[in-house]
Structures are given as C-alpha cells and as structure tokens.
C-alpha cells in the first residue's frame, strides 16, 4: 500500500542510535517488509553465519524502529548491491528453514498489495496460514498400534489392558495415548504396561486422527457428457493443450452439470502430471465437493477455515511436495503452493464470500485471474447467475463465454410461482408460512418428497419493537438486537453484545414491547407446529457450529432421514438432492430493498440459486416464492429463470449511473470512538483527495464523506467516501499522491477497500 496510510497508528523508521557499517565489498543484504501499512522495503545486513540459508519467502526477526525492537518481517529478496552511503542494521534471526512461498507467489503477493492498495507485508501475513507459520503438527507424536499376528483371545491380561487392545483392534489407524485412554476408559498405566510387555507397538509420526476432513467414498467413473457439456469441455481442453491462459465463463443453469465439466477437464490436467485448484464459496459445500472429487481422483487436499492448524499445515506440505492432484477449498485456497499448476476453477463465482473483508481486501476471482495469467494456465468461472462484472468482460471479448442452457438429461427447470402475501390471512397474523406455501408443503410431504425452506434471517425474531422508539438497538452498533429464544437473549449479530429482553424500553420506559419478524428459529417452531410428523432440520450459523456438522446435516438429508430442511443462504446453492420436490422462499424481499448497489443482483441470484435445488432428479420440482413485491422486475425475471433479460436491464442501469462494471470503485472508511473526530477528519481527507484529483486531472469522481449505512459498529463511528474512475491506474495514482498528506488524527483509523461489494 502506498505510504501515508494510518501514519498516526504506526511509527515510521527513525534514525536509530546504533548502526553497523556495511562493508563496501562482499556484503549481502536482505530486503524485508513488515505487517504494517508501510510501503517501504528495508535492507538489513546478513551476518556471515546466515548467508548460506537466507532466501526470499522466509520470515526473519530484525531490529526495527526506535530502540531497535526485534520485529518479525518477511524477506522478499536478497542482494549484493548494498548501499554504501548509509549504515545498515543487521538481521538477527531466520525463523524458517525453507521459504514459505515461492518466488512466483512472492511476485503475486506484491501485485495484490499494489492492486488492493495494501502493503506487501500485510498481504504476506494474510496469505500464509497460521498453522504454516507456527509449523503446527510438526512435533513428533507417539501413537500406538497392535503388533502383527496378535491373538487377543489367547491373552490373559487385566480387563483394562484388554480394553486398550480391543480399542486398537477396532481402530483403522494408530492412536495417541490420550485418545486411547479416553476410548478405553482408563488411565495411562495400562498402556504403559502393554508397551513394556510388547503387546502394543509405539510409532512416531503425525497422528492420523487429527485429519477431520477425511471422507471415505466409492470410486466412480466419469459420466457421459451431453452435447453442451462436451462443447464446453472441448473449449477448456483447447486452452489446456495449447498451454495458454484464458478465462472461460461457464454460464450453466442450475443442474446443468458444470461440476462434471470441471472434473473431466481436471482429468486432463492430472494426466499431464499437473495439479488443479478448485474454489468453492461455502464451508457447507466443501464436503459434497470433496466427495465428488475424491470419487474420481486418488489425491485430493482440502483447505478451509474449519481445519485445525496442524491439518492445514499438513495439507500445505503435501501440496508443496506435489503429492496432491486437486486442491479444494474456500477463498484462501487460491494461495495453495501447488508446484505444477495446470488449471484453476471457481465454482459459484458470483458469491460474495470470495471477497475478503479484512486487509488485504482482495477478491479471489481477480487474484485467480492474475495467478492463472502469470502461470499461463486456464481459469474457469462457473455459475448459473454470473456477476455482471464477469458477464461484461465476456461481452467485451476479454473472457470467453460458454453456456449450458439445458439441465442434464433434459430435465425441466422447476416451475416458479410468485405468491403475493400482501393479503394472505396467515401472514397478516404474523405467521411466516402463508396459505399457498402451507398447502404445498403438505402435498410434498404426502407424496414423500423432500422440502427446502429458505429464510435469510437467523435467530427467532429480528426486532424487539418499542412503539415509541422503534427497534431496540445494540448500544455499540447501529443495528437492532435479534431475539434468540433458545438462549433467552437479545443478540447483536455484528458484535455479539447480548442482554436479557427488558420488560420496558430502556430509552423511554414504555412497557409492552413486542417481538416482530421471523428468523430461522421461529420458522422452525412454526413448521414443527404445523407439520408435527415431519422430520425437520435447521441449518444456520447457530446450529452448525460443531466441526463436521455441515456434512452430517446434509448427509442426513441426502439419505432421506430428514423430510424438511430449512435454513439461511448456506442451503441456497450448489447442493444436489434428487428427491427435493418443493422449495419455499419465505421472504423474497429481504435483500431487495436494501440501499445497496448490488441489491437487485443479489436478490436475483438468491432466488435463482435456491430455486435450483429442486427438480434435479426424476421427480419434477416446484418453487413457491412469497413476496410483497410480486411485480418487481427482478423477482419476475427470477421466476422465469430469465438471467439474460435481468442482466440486460441491470447493465443498462449501471451504465447510466457509471457504476461497476462500467467503472472501478474504491471505498475509504474512517472510524473513531468519537463521532466529531471522524466527521471532521473525513471532511479534511475528502478535501485533500479532491484537490489532488484536480491538480493532476485524474478524472476520479469522489462521493462523500457521509455516515456509513451502519454508522456505529463495535463502538466505532464510521464515515466513508467512494471513488470511481474508468481505470485502476487513476485511483492508484490518487492514493499514492494524496495518502502521504493525510497525517491522520491519532483518534481516527482508516482503511481502503478496492472493488467493494459491501457498502454498509
């Protein structure tokens, strides 16, 4: 990131008190960056005893700042061209035996810093997993297994020792002392006794029990592709065989077999001895995706946030050693250290979860495009509802558009019925399921079909209402508190603040507060009342906290042990359940009326994606969409599965307002515990930006400052500005020239978000 960001929060390098003189000849310097918003690359003398082992990509400890405090940094280069006009400090310590990143990945992280207006050190600290930095799981663990040909029936040993042997006999892998003792219900003494007798064999290494993501699957053969799939596959294979980079946008309706196209393209990649990276947006999709790929490929690694540090480090090592054919994971898997990359696939490319919401605020799709370009490999973007940015690139000829207009086996797209709930007697009484949807659920259950109900609000009720003061709000955030009946608490979904529900409004003292609105917990209670014999499962971030809970829940639904699945957007995409005959959208208006640039696009995507969960097997599917805005064009387009008409209309609107994808956007967010401070600073910063734009004739349009849509968040008051320009270079130049002049007030913090998806 260019210099000047948050200068009040971090001290720049002062003239230190103690120096070592760099010799004029035969010197080696390490170039070091830090996890701070500073653009500078610092040079340090490498002492003789470290010269043979220093390399770019290693972490180092060096004296930094006033007082030469030892600080962790990242070596990004070594050089013999040592400046002789000034004195250099000496590198203190190298923390890694081998580089954590290759030279190519170092170059990519530098590009990310420049593209997203972040420092190189901040990017490096973000992309290397914590488990890799900590070397988690490398400690040798003692596990135990049975010796070969042990006849347990012939042994005369105490009961507890026998229990230990029986546990090992039933286990498919060696076990640690702790696990063995817990399963056998004993202490360590029986284990020690068995070890001395030679009845159990110690083994040193990494415990396989820690690998929580291991999923046993039956091997499968490739499926027969239809004509559309075959045409798409041929286009991908052309780029693969010609060893050239090309981005291919695979626009296929839900159930059109995009995953099978990915798999058969990867089959070709693996046949060349190369590897593929497959990104998926949701942790809930990962187990299903892993199953599909492990059924076809013998070596598949997974990288996602639910892995332990030890597992993530182990997978990272396996990938770096070339032992993995396919890497499947969420956003950060784009940085997987595959040595021979052959293909990158991003499934459900429209999902907002591919954008990181903390520094560096990169988008995995754009990072994937740059990595694929640098390594000269194809990038495949797949979606039933592509982002308008991706569609526009294809229209301009920058990417190639591939289409799958038919579902596999020519199954019809589900019929979508819009249910106007404005005059529904049940909805007017505060119920979530209207008359038509209730009848549809009853019919589907009678016919032994499965049902999915979608509602993108968690908790029991989203508002505790005071007639005089409106909704009861979090004292630290500008959002209403949500009632979680199971916990007996009002919770803030932004900062986790919680209180017991008051009997009177704490602001005006009025009694008679009411819970309004419906969340997934309230919907669950209503379904249980109306359909008491239905086997019900709720999936949201409250019910799916335990490791493996996503996979367990979806497996229950897949096997028919659950009749009705309800939940938030984690059930809205990518899942394939052939017996689902009805999907109900409880409230299609949730996102539509948000004051956001992309509210219409997200509404269309969400309805289309959740509708696509039905009719994927031999049985036809129906979709009932409850809405109070049935004539809204966006909802009409979604009901007709008419992506092209929606995109045409929305692109016309974006072009008229000079909004993305017809311009590039950046968002500057300032925050402070004092509203007057952040308000004054945001006005001053806006003045500097406008002055710089005018002086250099950059053509950057600056909007604001204004309070953010959520003005107060986690006790901080927030103001923001928006920049729009025709190209990224103009915004880069503005930031590079203006930021050093900011000199922020000590009470104010600042961050910059390039290509923001969330303007709240």
* C-alpha Rg value of the chain to the nearest Å: 29
Which residue ranges are tagged as binding site for Zn(2+)? 466, 469, 474, 477, 492, 495, 505, 508
Task: Give the DSSP per-residue string, 459-526.
Answer: SSBSEEEETTTEE-B-SSSSSBPEEETTTTEEE-TTT--EEPPPSB-TTT--B--EEES--HHHHHHH
pLDDT at 195 over 50: yes
The yes/no answer on whether domain 664-754 falls in CATH 3.40.50.920 is no
pLDDT at 69 over 80: yes
Tens of pLDDT, residues 376-431: 999 999 999 999 999 999 999 999 999 999 988 888 888 999 999 999 999 988 89
The yes/no answer on whether domain 227-409 falls in CATH 3.30.450.20 is no
Tens of pLDDT, residues 133-173: 887 655 556 788 888 878 887 788 888 888 888 888 888 77
Right CATH for 29-128 from 3.10.450.50, 3.40.1440.60, 3.30.360.10, 1.10.3720.10: 3.40.1440.60
Average pLDDT score over residue span 726-734: 92
pLDDT of residue 18: 43
- Entry pTM: 0.84
**Strongest mean pLDDT among 62-76, 217-231, 360-374:** 360-374
Q: Give percent of the chain with pLDDT exceeding 70.
A: 92
Residues in the chain: 760
CATH, domain range 411-461+517-654: 3.40.50.300
Q: Which residues, 6 or more positions from 450, have their beta carbon under 8 angstroms from its beta carbon? A: 444, 557, 560, 562, 563, 564, 565, 577, 579, 580, 581, 582
Average pLDDT score over residue span 100-113: 94
Q: With H, G, I as helix, E, B as strand and everything else as coil, classify residue 152.
A: helix
Intra-chain end-to-end CA distance of the chain, in Å: 23
Average pLDDT score over residue span 185-205: 81
How would residue 85 be classed by pLDDT, with cut points 50, 70 and 90?
low
How would residue 752 be classed by pLDDT, with cut points 50, 70 and 90?
very high
How would residue 211 be classed by pLDDT, with cut points 50, 70 and 90?
very low
Tens of pLDDT, residues 579-638: 899 999 999 888 787 778 899 999 999 888 888 888 777 788 899 999 999 999 999 999
Q: Give percent of the chain with pLDDT exceeding 90.
A: 56
**Peptide bond before residue 360 is cis, with ω within 30 degrees of 0:** yes
pLDDT at 15 over 80: no
pLDDT of residue 210: 41
Q: With H, G, I as helix, E, B as strand and everything else as coil, classify residue 428.
A: helix
Contact in structure between 535 and 576 (CB atoms under 8 Å): no
Bridge-based pairing state of the strands 664-672 and 716-725? antiparallel
Average pLDDT score over residue span 522-541: 93
pLDDT at 490 over 70: yes
pLDDT of residue 387: 96
Q: Report the C-alpha gap between 586 and 626 in whole angstroms.
A: 5
Average pLDDT score over residue span 260-282: 93
pLDDT of residue 11: 45
How would residue 94 be classed by pLDDT, with cut points 50, 70 and 90?
very high
pLDDT of residue 180: 85
Location of structure tokens 């819970």: 515
Task: Give the DSSP per-residue string, 339-385.
Answer: SSEEEEEEETTT-GGGB-SSSS--BHHHHHHHHHHHHT--EEEEESS
pLDDT at 216 over 80: no
Tell me the average pLDDT of the chain.
Answer: 87
pLDDT at 13 over 70: no
pLDDT at 691 over 70: yes
Which residue ranges are tagged as binding site? 466, 469, 474, 477, 492, 495, 505, 508
Contact in structure between 359 and 126 (CB atoms under 8 Å): yes
pLDDT of residue 571: 77
Q: Report the C-alpha gap between 345 and 281 in whole angstroms.
A: 12
Average pLDDT score over residue span 494-521: 87
Contact in structure between 614 and 452 (CB atoms under 8 Å): yes
Contact in structure between 505 and 453 (CB atoms under 8 Å): no
């Amino acid at each position: 990131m260019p210099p000047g960001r948050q200068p009040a929060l971090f001290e720049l390098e002062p003239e230190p008190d103690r120096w070592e003189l760099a010799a004029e000849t035969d010197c080696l310097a390490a170039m070091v960056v830090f996890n701070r918003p500073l653009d500078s690359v610092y040079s340090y003398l490498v002492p003789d005893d470290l010269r043979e082992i220093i390399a770019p990509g290693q972490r180092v400890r060096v004296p930094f700042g006033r007082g030469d405090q030892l600080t962790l940094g990242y070596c990004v280069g070594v050089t013999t061209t040592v400046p002789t006009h000034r004195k250099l400090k000496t590198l203190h310590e190298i923390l890694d035996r081998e580089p954590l990143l290759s030279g190519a990945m170092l170059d990519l992280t530098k590009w990310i810093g420049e593209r997203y207006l972040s420092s190189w050190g901040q990017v490096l600290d973000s992309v290397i997993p914590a488990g890799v930095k900590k070397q988690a799981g490398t400690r040798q663990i003692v596990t135990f297994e049975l010796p070969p040909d042990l006849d347990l029936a012939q042994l005369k040993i105490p009961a507890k020792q026998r229990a230990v042997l029986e546990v090992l006999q039933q286990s498919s892998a060696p076990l640690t002392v702790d696990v063995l003792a817990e399963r056998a219900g004993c202490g360590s003494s029986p284990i020690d006794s068995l070890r001395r007798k030679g009845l159990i064999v110690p083994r040193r290494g990494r415990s396989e029990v820690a690998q929580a993501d291991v999923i046993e699957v039956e091997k499968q053969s490739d499926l027969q592709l239809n004509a559309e799939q075959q045409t798409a596959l041929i286009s991908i294979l052309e780029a693969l065989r010609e060893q050239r980079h090309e981005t291919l946008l695979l626009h296929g309706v839900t159930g059109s077999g995009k995953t099978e196209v990915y798999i058969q393209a990867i089959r070709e990649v693996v046949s060349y001895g190369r590897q593929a990276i497959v990104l998926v947006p949701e942790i809930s999709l990962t187990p299903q995706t892993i199953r599909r790929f492990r059924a076809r490929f013998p070596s598949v690694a997974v990288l996602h946030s639910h892995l332990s540090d030890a597992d993530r480090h182990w997978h990272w090592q396996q990938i770096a050693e070339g032992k993995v054919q396919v890497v499947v994971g969420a956003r950060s898997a784009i940085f997987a250290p595959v040595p021979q990359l052959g293909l990158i696939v991003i499934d459900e490319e429209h999902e907002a979860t591919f954008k990181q919401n903390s520094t560096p605020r990169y988008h995995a799709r754009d990072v994937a495009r740059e990595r694929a370009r640098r390594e000269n490999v194809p990038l495949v973007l797949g979606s039933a509802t592509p982002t308008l940015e991706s569609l526009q690139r294809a229209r301009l000829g920058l990417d190639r558009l591939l289409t799958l207009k038919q579902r596999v086996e020519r199954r019809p797209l589900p019929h979508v019925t819009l249910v106007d709930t404005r005059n529904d007697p049940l909805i007017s009484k505060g119920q979530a399921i209207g008359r038509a949807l209730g009848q549809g659920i009853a019919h589907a259950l009678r016919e032994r079909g499965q049902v999915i109900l979608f509602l993108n609000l968690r908790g029991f009720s989203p508002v505790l209402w005071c007639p005089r003061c409106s909704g009861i709000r979090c004292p630290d955030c500008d959002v209403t508190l949500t009632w979680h009946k199971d916990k007996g608490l009002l919770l803030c979904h932004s900062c986790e603040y919680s209180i017991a529900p008051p009997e009177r409004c704490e602001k005006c003292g009025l009694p008679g507060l009411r819970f309004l609105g419906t969340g997934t917990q309230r919907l669950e209670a209503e379904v249980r009342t109306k359909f008491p014999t239905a086997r019900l499962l709720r999936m949201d971030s409250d019910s799916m906290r335990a490791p493996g809970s996503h996979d367990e829940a979806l497996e229950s639904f897949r096997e028919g042990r659950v009749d009705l699945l309800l939940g938030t957007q984690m059930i809205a995409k990518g899942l394939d359940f052939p017996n689902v005959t009805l999907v109900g959208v409880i409230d299609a208006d949730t996102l539509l009326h948000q004051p956001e640039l992309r509210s219409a696009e997200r509404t269309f995507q969400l309805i289309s994606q959740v509708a696509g969960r039905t009719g994927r097997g031999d049985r036809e599917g129906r979709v009932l969409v409850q809405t109070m805005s049935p004539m809204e064009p966006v909802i009409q387009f979604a009901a007709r599965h008419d992506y092209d008409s929606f995109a045409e209309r929305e692109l016309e609107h974006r072009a008229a307002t000079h909004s993305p994808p017809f311009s590039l956007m950046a968002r500057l967010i300032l925050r402070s515990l004092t509203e007057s401070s952040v308000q004054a600073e945001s006005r001053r910063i806006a003045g500097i930006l406008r002055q710089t734009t005018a002086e250099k004739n950059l053509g950057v349009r600056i909007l604001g400052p204004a309070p953010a849509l959520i003005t107060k968040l986690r006790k901080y008051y927030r103001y923001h500005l928006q920049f729009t320009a025709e190209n990224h270079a103009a915004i880069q130049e503005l930031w590079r020239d203006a930021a050093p002049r900011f000199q922020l007030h000590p009470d104010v913090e600042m961050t910059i978000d390039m290509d923001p998806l969330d303007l709240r």
